Structure 1
Amino acid sequence: MKESQPSAIYLKDYQVPPFLIDKTELTFDLDETTTVVTSRLHMRRNPASGKSTQPLILDGGPDMKLIGVAMDDYQLPPEEYRLIDDKLIITATADEFLLTCETLIEPQNNTRLEGLYRSSSMFCTQCEAEGFRHITYYLDRPDVMSVFTTTIIADSKRYPVMLSNGNEIERGMTDEGKTFVVWQDPFPKPAYLFALVAGDLAVKDDHFVTMSGRKVALQIFTESHNIDKVDYAMEALKLSMRWDEEVYGREYDLDIFMIVAVDDFNMGAMENKGLNIFNSSCLLASPETTTDDAYLRVEAIVAHEYFHNWSGNRVTCRDWFQLSLKEGFTVFRDQTFSADMHSETVKRVEDVSFLKTAQFAEDAGPMSHPVRPSSFIEISNFYTLTVYEKGAEIVRMIHTLLGAQKFRQGSDLYFERHDGQAVTCDDFIAAMEDASGVDLSHFSRWYSQAGTPVVTAKDEYDAEQGIYRLTLTQETPETPNQPTKLPLHMPVRVGLLDENGNELAAGYQGDASVEHVLDFTQASQVFEFTDVRECPVPSLYRGFSAPVKLRYDYSSENLLTLMSADSDGFNRWSSAQQLAVNELTQLIEQAKSGVELSIHSQLVKGFKRLLSDESLDPAMVALILALPSQAYLSELATSIYPAEIKQARAHLKALLANSLKDEFKKTYQSLNTQVDYEATATEIARRSLKNTTLSYWLETADEQALVAVAEQFSNANNMTDQFAALSIAVQNSHPQADTFMDAFYQQWQNEPLVVNKWLMLSASQERPDALDVVTGLMSHPAFDLKNPNKVRSVLGGFGQSVSAFHNLDGSGYAFLADQIIVLNKRNPQIASRLCTPLTRWKKMQPELSSKMKAQLERIMAEELSKDVYEVISKSLL
């Protein structure tokens, strides 16, 4: 542990930058061993700062060597500047000047993958959030926006492709025989949006004609052996461009839009202006190597990064506390795009399932923070589910409160008012208020208040007067540094059903309809509905209209009614999940008590109805049939007992499988048709239900099911079906599971993204020697500690294995701590994200809690990066 620990940065301390950079001229002389970067910064004092004597302080990085610095034509001697804590400080400056810096960096030794680094044989960058300071000295903050001109000099035989932001304006040869290419981005941007790529790459060319008739060149670059896997991404890009024009009126603004696939990347993708850089796993797709889930992920991420061109690039965030201004808004945009491209209900269920499992856990953990944090030590730690997913829920609630038309008017005003500016979440709210006339001042608390609200619903029915009264009470639990919570403004979509599942029209505030949106703003509030002809079953928070935990005493019969008949598809799924949670909770308590597990499951009746109703969307049926995950049940638990949760889930799944064996078998066989692969909503839905029912059928140990799994694994013409069969075999101890695993690796060992799936499945196995398997994977030829995807595959899979990770002797926790300590020095961003499972120690059963805490303390004793220190120190409070 360091003697002096990193200090926090606070939102309340924000001040405008004392200097501005009007133009940034960069020259990169790329070489195999060292790269020389020359920056020419056209600077002036910021008139808004009011600090005319403040020194110039530029951000730098620890692995960067300063060769020289000049102000205008004057080369500064060492005594006229200082280098302190990676910052370049110059005391004497004019009001306006040209600052030239020459730095030397070694991209090939950059294991943190921030700034300029090597991935395979190419140079590439990642500058968000604070990577640019590892390239050259700069005002590396999002509210300093500059027009960039970039010159790349390299050996064109090694690096025939040289890319940067904007449009190419010049190309030629240097006196030394190298090639140079000059790129200019006419739109001011902060340094975090800078990008550079140089390598020997293949390209897929296409074009898009905008709504004003401009022809935009589209290019996707990959290594040559992957260029056949970008067609789907290209189509997704064109769909995204058209959708953004039609739904938001946003037209693309440059002459060219480029995407590059990179194997070594900490994130999913990066929206650099005009030159998006993607993790290969988020861009490459083919039927043989890519599952349906991965296809949908590619489409969503391509859309997300493209949408950032306006919600993030043209209008960016003033400071990193406002990160959700661009990320939450853009996640909402990509979610609604995907919903329009496929099934709105299925997309909503998938998004909320992820939110409830992961973001709710984050809200309840030591790293809990508001969507707009008040402080941070390392900004990389705040690229969180709270900022992204909960931030998107806030935007969705505004959309619900305003309606689609007024929301569009608000977004139009926001883009018009703030084009070319770095702004705040308050500016976004103000645009929505001004365009709609709706007061959102109370609603704005969502940005500053951490935690997941708990809403308790109670009701009464006056049969004589036909009045139904619904009482809602909200309370948000205490979170770190926020003991006091205020009531939030949330929209509550409500419908009423009779006992047969038919919707009841009801009067509310002069409106008689089958659904109402309630404005819930107080700690406790009563809503009265009139002309209700019988005692209803309430369908609450339809479409998950607010990110809350709902408490209502539904009977099993109520839940079956909602599950079978609710017109709101989301609440059909939610009711099935709640019914499963109720039954699993009983089984978990039995397992903790050591008694034989036994339950009369109401899910049997509900699932039987679902499987017999051919009118339903197969994708929705598959989602409803999926039992709540181990992770979600852990998030719900007051004290987590991993082995008992696993035992309860296995028991209930086996009970359902054996009770409905004929239905699962029949459904699988009816859907198991050999057709050409298509990544369409219809075909994805068919495969989803087919593979879900196969998983249940195999639970019965039916000989025919064993054969069906083997045949599907061997004969599948797409990765979705083959990998599903493999996973089902492994998870259900199919007698040929090990043979399948070996065959799968032999078949796909030259496809890294497929091998990553094999690594994750290998690491997640439940077997007595599970930890030995994971340890062996760390030295497998397919594993590379330098590659974040492979680290996430092995250690992510390891975290899913109760046998490996939650071993009662604590060896699993010690193994993860070992990896965090190693990666802390190599790649702090990845190391900090691996800490998350250990941060749940306070909720873990006593026998495991103490062992988790001991590993946190062991990590804390090391000399830690800011990234890891922040997570570990907060976890131990």
Structure 2
Amino acid sequence: MMREGTATLIRREDYAAPAFWIRTVDLSFDLDPAKTLVTSKMQVERNTAVAHGPLVLHGEELNLLRVLINGESVSFRQDGHLLIIEGAPDADFALEIRNTCAPEKNTALSGLYTSGGGFFTQCEAEGFRRITYFLDRPDVMAVYTVTLRADKKKYPVLLSNGNLLETGELDNGRHFAKWHDPFPKPSYLFALVAADLVAREQRVKSRSGKDHLLQVYVRRGDLEKTEHAMNSLIASLVWDEARFGLPLDLERFMVVGVSDFNMGAMENKGLNIFNTSALLASPATATDADFSRIESIVAHEYFHNWTGNRVTCRDWFQLSLKEGLTVFRDQEFSMDMAGTPSARAVCRIQDVRSLRAMQFPEDGGAMAHPVRPDQYVEINNFYTATVYEKGSEVVRMYQTLVGRAGFEAGMKLYFERHDGQAVTCDDFAAAIADANPGSALASRLDAFKRWYSQPGTPRVQARGHYDAATQTYTLTLSQSNKGQAPQVIPVVTGLVGHDGTALAEQLLVLDAAEQSFTFENIAAEPVPSLLRGFSAPVLLDDGLSDAELLVLLKHDADAFNRWEASQRLALNRILAAVRAGQPLVLDAAYVEAMRSVLRHPELDAAFKELALTLPGEAYIAEQLEVVDPQAIHAAVEAAQIQLAQALREDWIAAFEANQIQGGYTPDPVSAGRRALANLALSMLVLDAQRSGDTVWPGRAYQRFKDATNMTDRLGALAALVNAHAELAESALSRFHAQFKGEPLVIDKWFALQARAPEREGKSFARVKQLAMHADFSLKNPNRARSLIFSLALFNPAAFHRADAAGYVFWADQVLALDGINPQVAGRLARAMDRWTTLAEPYRSAAREAIARVAAKAELSNDVREIIERQLASGA
């Protein structure tokens, strides 16, 4: 390790095994909001493979009371956040530490904290050291026994990891619960909950015949919103055992919802703690997207039981070993749950849209890093789209290269080798390759692992030549990634005839700077359909003309590339207008292509909605070397208005045809119909604003009032707000009054206004006004994200203002948040990662705002690491 300013730079190459192992931990908590007493009794063993040295434990924000070894006092010293015991025995010994912490003062929400009158924990990545002194690193795995004591009336529910051993009454109205987790785990997977909660319970039987108790705990009043989460959990258990042979390994599995949480959820062994936004759903309060997200996150955290818990990370540089792999697993689960081929394709399209919106910019920004980073100052800053989403794409490429059955064989070998261990990304790669010795992966394993070590998004260029005389088609592929070594890129390729005939499909493996592939017996000149299913996370330049893209849009058997053609057609027109500095005027050919999608009798509504939604402004910006956010916004707005006007009658037909009668269900078909109806309504209200028509704003307002589910209600409200219709104010007021007792719905109310398309500065002014609203608070991460993040990360035209007011506001909020919750502040700081690509005057103003944040002396490591890297990127 080396010092960089006042922070420690941690390098992957410096990894060393711990000098001691902790084999068992007996923890007891006397829970009190102001002063919780923690007693930790550990069996410690010196690692004889490491040179003799002191026992060094991590601890933050703790009051140390006692340190005993084998029951005797021992000398120690404290150095910053470290507790150093020089005289630790060479033989195994018992270490006892007693300390207190102050949960109610813990606004960082890391470690043990209070929320809504209860106690909760978040220990990943380094929160356990805020509970007690420990070797707080993922390669130290121990078996835990935990005893919780608390006031029974205030905290009737006492939970921790594993299986419940004992409960009982204590003096003075207190009670206790004792838990034991039989599986060794790192400290980041520890959890406890003490609160007044109620539970939905379900008993299930695994394939092996074992009985398990599933419980979803929430605050009183939210129980009716847990049915979907429970159903998702049951589906996850069934799927993981059927697909990968991985059963639930504890007597019970518990999920707990909490309103104050920095992440979406946490996979603590047997006791998952969830942000309520990722857990609670009812038709009246949650949208189709919420239902889908909850199903995915419940599955993700459950799947971690094996990919992350039973086999964990040796060090935090290997974070994608668990996160990328588990994102891949939850994406596969979601596609399998979707059922139909079209619904599966919609899932894949949505995942890629997210990757491109969040991860591609990260690859090109100040915080660019490999899937397996080489160094960090603050590990919280590396819970990123690169580690998660790009990491998932790397795992997907394994499956593409070895096949589905081969991948499942590799997973089986991985668990046979490493169950109960803390391992590396290399160990996973070896297991997949060794289980598939004759595969396209095994012979290229070293080159494939460059996906872990090389940052950036590879660019692939494709050019084809058809020889009519020999009936051959030669495809030449080349790759580049900022001068780095060639990577292994699986390119699933199809050839489509201009009449729609499927001519060929083949997996091509590009593993050199340039390669050519020849297809034989091709009867007519084809249109190449490359990267089918988005087979690799790359930027593709295939040189296709509009006419060829129209062929793919009309005929491609691969739904992903059919959607991609629709996006490329729109993107080409928007980029041309922005680069020329001219107003966008859509041509008749493009408009007719979109009309044909809208009218197509065989395409699912969900696919139509995706194909007819224009590329996001942030994704468009990524295609430009110099970015003018206002010019991009103007082009997108012009395209929307012209599509709204030109397809008006088709939008009316689509809206009417996709009304759903009867009760609400979030199934893919119904959700797709609602999505298309809401898109049509937004277009009709937008066109009405241009023409002065009052009919469709009126219909939207009536739909808003009469809706029987949140998807339709919020869709109608969004149509009014996004068009800046006069009725929007009345609808917003009515919405707030109706749902003022539902925090997650009020988050939607804030977010909708913060993301409204900018018009004459109105959206930015609204955000500043809402920041003073009685219901707004920076202390709750969900609420901060709903307003401040929505502006800075998802509304470029409102954020990037010529007067720099957006940047001033951003700096104010980052500094304020840093004093409350550094992890959340660090996430907000990332809004400036791509500032160097901005045109003037935005670029200079952005740098000034970043420098203002950097000038504050007492910045957290979370924020300082990001800000300093941003400044360095513009040097």
Shorter-chain TM band = over 0.9
Q: Find the partner of 1:739 among 726, 730, 733.
A: 730
For 2:630 and 2:359, the matched residues in 1 are separated by 23
For 1:858 and 1:23, the matched residues in 2 are separated by 48
For 1:802 and 1:403, the matched residues in 2 are separated by 41
Contact 1:29 1:152 in 2 (8 A): yes
Q: Secondary structure at the match of 2:222?
A: helix
Q: Find the partner of 1:795 among 788, 795, 800.
A: 788
% identical aligned pairs: 45
Equivalence for 1:839:
833
Q: Find the partner of 2:64 among 60, 63, 66.
A: 66
For 2:141 and 2:162, the matched residues in 1 are separated by 15
Equivalence for 2:257:
261
Q: Does 1:588 align with 2:578?
A: yes
Q: Which amino acid aligns with 2:450?
A: R
Counting matched residue pairs gives 852
Contact 2:585 2:639 in 1 (8 A): no
Contact 2:153 2:173 in 1 (8 A): no
Contact 1:771 1:803 in 2 (8 A): no
Shift of 1:778: 1.9
Q: Give the direction of change, closer, same or farther, for the CA distance of 1:573–1:597 in structure 2 (3 Å limit).
A: closer
Shift of 1:639: 1.2
Q: Any residues of structure 2 matched to 1:50-449 within 5 Å, and which?
A: 51=51, 53-61=52-60, 63-76=61-74, 80-95=75-90, 96-175=92-171, 177-342=173-338, 343-437=343-437, 438=439, 439=442, 440-449=445-454
| 1:648-696 deviation digits (Å, cap 9, x = unpaired) | 0111111112111111111111112432110111111111111112222
For 2:486 and 2:558, the matched residues in 1 are separated by 27
For 2:748 and 2:664, the matched residues in 1 are separated by 20
Q: CA RMSD in A?
A: 1.3
For 1:635 and 1:596, the matched residues in 2 are separated by 20
Q: Which amino acid aligns with 1:118?
A: T
Q: Does 1:668 align with 2:658?
A: no
Contact 2:364 2:834 in 1 (8 A): no
Equivalence for 1:626:
613
Equivalence for 2:489:
490
Shift of 1:67: 0.9
Q: Does 1:764 align with 2:755?
A: yes
Shift of 1:769: 4.0
Contact 2:697 2:727 in 1 (8 A): no
For 1:250 and 1:597, the matched residues in 2 are separated by 54
Contact 2:652 2:680 in 1 (8 A): yes
Contact 1:81 1:89 in 2 (8 A): yes
| 1:592-618 deviation digits (Å, cap 9, x = unpaired) | x3x444341532121111122121111
Q: Find the partner of 1:557 among 547, 550, 575.
A: 547
Q: Find the partner of 1:600 among 561, 568, 587.
A: 587
For 2:823 and 2:281, the matched residues in 1 are separated by 27
Q: Which amino acid aligns with 2:161?
A: N
Q: Which amino acid aligns with 1:685?
A: G
For 1:770 and 1:395, the matched residues in 2 are separated by 40
Q: Find the partner of 1:777 among 754, 770, 777.
A: 770
Q: Secondary structure at the match of 1:102?
A: strand
For 1:838 and 1:418, the matched residues in 2 are separated by 40
| 1:504-538 deviation digits (Å, cap 9, x = unpaired) | 1xxxxxxxxx2100111100000111111111100
Shift of 1:501: 2.0
Q: Secondary structure at the match of 2:446?
A: coil
Q: Which amino acid aligns with 2:85?
A: I
Shift of 1:869: 0.8
For 2:152 and 2:588, the matched residues in 1 are separated by 68
Unmatched 5+ stretches in structure 2: none
For 2:840 and 2:425, the matched residues in 1 are separated by 42
TM-score computed with the length of structure 2 as normaliser: 0.96
Q: Secondary structure at the match of 1:436?
A: coil
Equivalence for 1:43:
44
| 1:695-715 deviation digits (Å, cap 9, x = unpaired) | 222222144322321221111
Contact 1:565 1:572 in 2 (8 A): yes
Q: Give the direction of change, closer, same or farther, for the CA distance of 1:378–1:392 in structure 2 (3 Å limit).
A: same
| 1:455-512 deviation digits (Å, cap 9, x = unpaired) | 01111111100111100010012xxxxxx400001111000011122211xxxxxxxx
Deviates more, 1:234-243 or 1:168-177: 168-177
Q: Which amino acid aligns with 2:610?
A: L
Deviates more, 1:553-562 or 1:383-392: 553-562
Deviates more, 1:344-353 or 1:684-693: 684-693
Q: Does 1:806 align with 2:796?
A: no
Shift of 1:26: 0.4
For 1:871 and 1:245, the matched residues in 2 are separated by 41
Q: Give the direction of change, closer, same or farther, for the CA distance of 1:673–1:212 in structure 2 (3 Å limit).
A: closer
For 1:175 and 1:749, the matched residues in 2 are separated by 40
Contact 2:529 2:561 in 1 (8 A): yes
Q: Find the partner of 2:702 among 699, 703, 711.
A: 711
Q: Secondary structure at the match of 2:502?
A: coil
Q: Secondary structure at the match of 1:846?
A: coil
| 1:567-610 deviation digits (Å, cap 9, x = unpaired) | 000000111101100011122234xx3x4443415321211111
Equivalence for 2:34:
33
Shift of 1:175: 4.8
For 2:466 and 2:762, the matched residues in 1 are separated by 57
For 1:37 and 1:687, the matched residues in 2 are separated by 52
Unmatched 5+ stretches in structure 1: 478-483, 505-513
Q: Find the partner of 1:530 among 520, 533, 541.
A: 520
Equivalence for 2:465:
460
Shift of 1:173: 2.9
